[in-house]
Amino acid sequence: MQSAKEKLENLSASAKAGMEKTKATVQEKAEKLTTRDPLEKQMAEQKKERRIAEAELRKQEAREQNYAEKEAARSGGHTTGVTTGHTTGVTTGHGVDPLSSEHVVSGTAGTRPVGTGAGTGRTTTAYNP
C-alpha cells in the first residue's frame, strides 16, 4: 500500500515539475518576443534555466520526502538517517541522488547499489563498499 502511495505522489510531483518547466519555457519565449535587446533575451533564457532547475530540485525533494515517509511507515515511524533535501548529489543517509533517482546510503557517494537496474524502482540491501 505504501509503495503505491509513494509512486502516485512521485508521479504527481513529476507532473507538477513538468508543468512548471513548460510555464518557464513559455514565459521565456514571451519575454524574448517582446524585446530586441540581446542582453534581455539572454537574461530571459537564464531565468528559464534557473526556474527549470528549481522545478527539478523540488521534484527530487518531493521524491525524497515520499521515500522517507514510506520508510518511516515501514519502520514504525523511525526516520533517523533519512535526508529530505540536498543539492550536491551526495547524501548522508538514505535518500535519492538527484542525478540518477536511485537510493543511496552514506559512505557510498559516487557508487550505485548492487542489484538495481535502471528503471526497476527497487533497491536491494547489498551495496558496493
Digit-coded pLDDT (tens) for 27-71? 999 999 999 999 999 999 999 999 999 999 999 999 999 999 989
Angle at 54 between CA 93 and CA 56, to 5 degrees: 65
At residue 110, the pLDDT reads 45
Q: With 0.85 as the threshold, say if the pTM is over it.
A: no
Which amino acid would we find at residue 41?
Answer: K
Query: Residue 49 forms beta bridges with which residues?
Result: none
At residue 78, the pLDDT reads 57
**Burial group, residue 9, by CB count within 10 angstroms (0-12, 13-18, 19+):** middle
Return d(Cα 63, Cα 119) in angstroms, integer.
15
Range 116-129 average pLDDT = 48
- pLDDT per residue as tens digits for the range 71-116: 988 887 655 554 555 444 444 444 444 444 444 444 444 444 444 4
